[in-house]
Amino acid sequence: MNEKMKDQLFKKHLIYHYDISNNTYSIPVPVRRWNNTQLAFECPWCFSKYKKNNTPYKNSYNIMHFHGDSGGKDSDGNYGSRIPHCQTQAKEYWGLQNLDYDFKLIGGNMIF
């Protein structure tokens, strides 16, 4: 993880955990229930508007990502598979294509 990424997480009051055995980063993010079948969280990497060189505009804001299937929870009560939904511009700007990371969704007293 580069210094630019660490600074962005610090600005958003987020921490990260590094799993050395799997070479992956886990980033706990606060989540809220969007509806009965989805969860929503603010992505620290993705912004609403980008310049042509993939730099976010100063007046842009972080967008929400949604986690869950539109068909509802599965039989075990899970929200579906977890993969990062980050935009192509964000991946290029932050260098996320070279990073193995996952968001740990935390809401109330639950970890999703």
> How is the chain split into domains, by residue range?
3-111
- CA–CA distances in Å: residue 16 to residues 3, 4, 25, 39, 89: 13, 14, 6, 20, 22
> In this predicted structure, what is the pLDDT of residue 84?
72
Given a cut of 70, the residues of the chain with pLDDT beneath it are: 36-37, 68-83, 108-112
- CA–CA distances in Å: residue 33 to residues 65, 74, 106: 12, 16, 11
Between strands 32-33 and 24-30, the pairing is unpaired
> In this predicted structure, what is the pLDDT of residue 106?
82
> In this predicted structure, what is the pLDDT of residue 57?
93
> In this predicted structure, what is the pLDDT of residue 99?
86
> In this predicted structure, what is the pLDDT of residue 75?
58
> In this predicted structure, what is the pLDDT of residue 54?
87
- Whole-angstrom Cα distance, residue 78 to residue 18? 25
